[in-house]
């Protein structure tokens, strides 16, 4: 089944809300998550499609409740989590 | 609402993640600061606006831009190759017959180097779900009422290309210099949710 | 990689796939017929990269234009362009 991120054409999300003079980040932690992800991609810890995949595999209710950078945080955590047996 | 509390919990979670990745030798404070600094200082819709203004005043540049946008960017000292992987770049021109608008229905693909960090509305489910299905209604909510005869092309950015809209040059701007023309161009114009 | 199988002007159908992994063919395009308007060159297949394959398939990516009326069955008259890897597509008449 298509994943929760695949919303093209789906109804019920309401009007598009525009935030006037929106800053690039709404909190310092959002900028840090952004930077952590870029650093991991650069280093090849994972690739962009693995990152997208990690976001898409969030349970739908969680995905929809999360803010944009909360989704990123979830993905970076999931993709860098120490595997059991390590260390 | 406990927004403040939730946000401080999230901030603490991010700090733990950051410490773990730095301890693992995967990044450093300096690297992270550098990434944020370069994004905030370098990535801006002013870059896209410069490209548009040049295309408006120089028909030969416009032709090169539409034929090979990556190369045409380099002429202005801009690049789409600064990210984690190379990206093909295309510019789609608005005409009296055709209006273009960009979206990424699956995630949030966007030409950050040329347009800056994307606005929240671009990444919202509301925009991503609706603009492919009812673009005329969505554009009207943005205040863009297109003539009935203007066709709309919605570009769903689903692979490794990134796009930018080339708006039509507004009437009555013949005497303006390149900088003044660039100042007319908005981020929304480059996405296609505004005329310019 | 092999020569692109499709050319500008060809009619193609996005396969009615439903893979259990990451993919970049939006569900609204699955099973739909559109026209190739651009051949973008070759790119590693997102589905393979998402699964961490060491050597992802490298395939032509096509910009395919779909009429909105066919996608949404409505009075909408716009076009939706989607960028699709070759293995998402089959020839259509």
State mean pLDDT over C18-29. 95
Residues of chain A contacting C28 with CB distance shorter than 8 Å: 8-9
Q: Which of A1, A8, A46 sits opposite C18 (nearest CB)?
A: A1
> How far apart, in whole angstroms, are the C-alpha atoms of residue B99 and residue B193?
10
State mean pLDDT over B46-74. 97
In this prediction the ipTM stands at 0.96
Interacting residues of B180 by C-beta distance below 8 A, sequence separation 6+? none
Domain carrying residue C67: 11-91
State mean pLDDT over C48-58. 95
- What is the structure's pLDDT at B3? 62
List active site positions of B: 104, 107-109
Predicted confidence (pLDDT) at residue C32 exceeds the cutoff of 70: yes
* Residue C40, domain CATH: 2.30.30.50
Q: Which residues of chain A have pLDDT under 50?
A: 87
**Cβ(C51)–Cβ(C35) below 8 Å:** no
In a domain, C1, yes or no: no
- What is the structure's pLDDT at C50? 97
In a domain, C28, yes or no: yes
- Count the neighbouring beta carbons within 10 Å of the beta carbon of residue A21: 4
- C79 phi, psi to nearest 5 deg: -120, 145
In a domain, C54, yes or no: yes
Tell me how close the Cα of A59 comes to any Cα of chain B, in angstroms.
16
Q: Which of A7, A11, A36 sits opposite B18 (nearest CB)?
A: A36
> How far apart, in whole angstroms, are the C-alpha atoms of residue C90 and residue C5?
9
Q: Measured between CB atoms, does C18 come within 8 Å of chain A?
A: yes
- What is the structure's pLDDT at C1? 60
Tallying the residues shown for chain C, one arrives at 93
The residue with greater pLDDT, B7 or B178, is B178
- What is the structure's pLDDT at B126? 98
Q: Measured between CB atoms, does A22 come within 8 Å of chain B?
A: yes
Domains and their CATH numbers in chain A: 28-80 (1.10.472.20)
pTM, full prediction = 0.95
- How would DSSP label each residue in B18-75? HHHHHHTTS--HHHHHHHHHHHHHH--HHHHHHHHHHHHH-HHHHHHHHH-HHHHHHH
State mean pLDDT over B120-145. 97
- C59-89, pLDDT tens digit by residue? 999 999 999 999 998 677 999 999 999 999 9
- B76-86, pLDDT tens digit by residue? 999 887 776 77
């Amino acid at each position: 089944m298509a994943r929760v991120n695949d919303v093209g054409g789906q109804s019920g999300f309401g009007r598009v809300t525009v935030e006037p003079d929106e800053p690039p980040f709404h909190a310092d932690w959002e900028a840090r998550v952004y930077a952590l992800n870029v650093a991991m991609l650069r280093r090849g810890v994972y690739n962009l499609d693995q990152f997208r995949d990690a976001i898409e595999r969030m349970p739908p209710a969680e995905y929809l409740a999360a803010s944009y950078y909360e989704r990123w945080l979830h993905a970076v955590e999931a993709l860098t989590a120490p595997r059991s047996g390590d260390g | 609402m406990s927004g403040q509390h939730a946000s401080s919990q999230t901030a603490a979670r991010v700090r733990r993640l950051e410490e773990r990745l730095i301890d693992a030798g995967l990044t450093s404070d300096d690297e992270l600061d550098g990434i944020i600094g370069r994004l905030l200082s370098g990535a801006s819709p002013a870059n896209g606006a410069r490209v548009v203004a040049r295309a408006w005043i120089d028909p030969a540049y416009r032709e090169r831009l539409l034929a090979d946008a990556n190369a045409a960017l380099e002429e202005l000292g801009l690049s789409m190759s600064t990210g984690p992987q190379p990206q093909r770049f295309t510019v789609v021109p608005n005409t009296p017959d055709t209006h273009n608008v960009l979206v990424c229905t699956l995630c949030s693909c966007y030409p950050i180097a040329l347009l800056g960090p994307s606005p929240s509305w671009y990444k919202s489910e509301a925009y991503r779900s609706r603009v492919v299905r009812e673009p005329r209604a969505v554009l009207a909510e943005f205040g863009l009422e297109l003539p009935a005869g203007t066709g709309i092309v919605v570009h769903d950015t689903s692979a490794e290309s990134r796009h930018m809209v080339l708006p039509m040059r507004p009437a009555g701007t013949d005497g303006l210099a390149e900088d003044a023309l660039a100042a007319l161009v908005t981020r929304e114009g480059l996405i296609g949710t505004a005329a310019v | 990689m092999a020569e692109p199988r499709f050319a500008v002007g060809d009619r193609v159908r996005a396969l009615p796939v439903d893979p259990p992994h990451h993919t970049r063919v939006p569900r609204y395009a699955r099973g739909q017929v559109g026209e190739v308007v651009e051949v973008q060159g070759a790119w590693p297949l997102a589905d393979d990269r998402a699964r961490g394959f060491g050597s992802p398939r490298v395939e032509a990516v096509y910009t395919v234009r779909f009429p909105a009326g066919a996608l949404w069955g409505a009075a909408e008259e716009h076009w939706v362009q989607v960028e699709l890897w070759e293995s998402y597509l089959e020839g259509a008449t």
